[in-house]
Amino acid sequence: MQRYFIYFSYDGANYHGWQVQPNGISVQEKLQTSLSLLLRTPLEIVGAGRTDAGVHARMMVAHFDFDGPVDGQQLAYKLNRILPADISVDRVEPVIPDMHARFSATSRTYHYYIHTRKDPFSRSYSCEMHYQLDFEAMNAAGVYLLTQDDFASFCKAGADVKTTLCHVTAAAWHQMSTHHWYFEITANRFLRNMVRAVVGTLIEVGRGRMTLEEFKQVVADKRRTSAGESMPGHALFLERITY
């Protein structure tokens, strides 16, 4: 059996997240069905991670095993012909047998986009803020995340995880234009709903409703109820994965 990596991207607006589920259409289902059709055998693909409903990916990776030769360039071309317009395959490549789309990844990077005045052209992929934000204070709180390893306060309640430990290596706000910003966070792994909860809590800091010391206490509490609200999913993008 040869293992292959698929590199692809998607607009998550029409999907109930990445993972196959009984009550909604998922990205995994669409890609898996198309791949099985083209290779004429039932196949299961394993993704690098899970994105929630409405969340997008500029870069996602999945692997599958197939007993036979595969022309990666031709397969990518054919997949793009039958997949919906909101899923695009970049390439398909053979990898060594012990490479794993999820467990071999060394880091993942997410971006969360916001705009600070009404913009009809940003509303589908960015979250409009209706108040002034102190980005300097928000970045100070972001720096603090780099010194921590337990992110239980930003994990969705009831999530089935064995550990809430993560190694965050980047957490900062970046300005794209006068009214457009994005938050970039990189870590070796992410908990369910973690990025949206982190951003929601940083917004509390930016609005002056939470001090840096209070933000530190939120992290120390290790309770989801201590942190801010989860931000909407439409403004969140999985940007890249490294191996």
Q: Which residues are catalytic?
A: 52
φ, ψ of residue 143 to 5 degrees: the values are -60, -35
β partners of residue 2: 66
Question: 94 Cβ partners below 8 Å, 6+ apart?
Answer: 2, 3, 4, 5, 70, 72
| E strand or H helix at 187 | strand 180-187
68: left (phi over 0), alpha (psi -120 to 50) or beta: left
How far from chain centre, in Å, is Cα 37?
A: 27
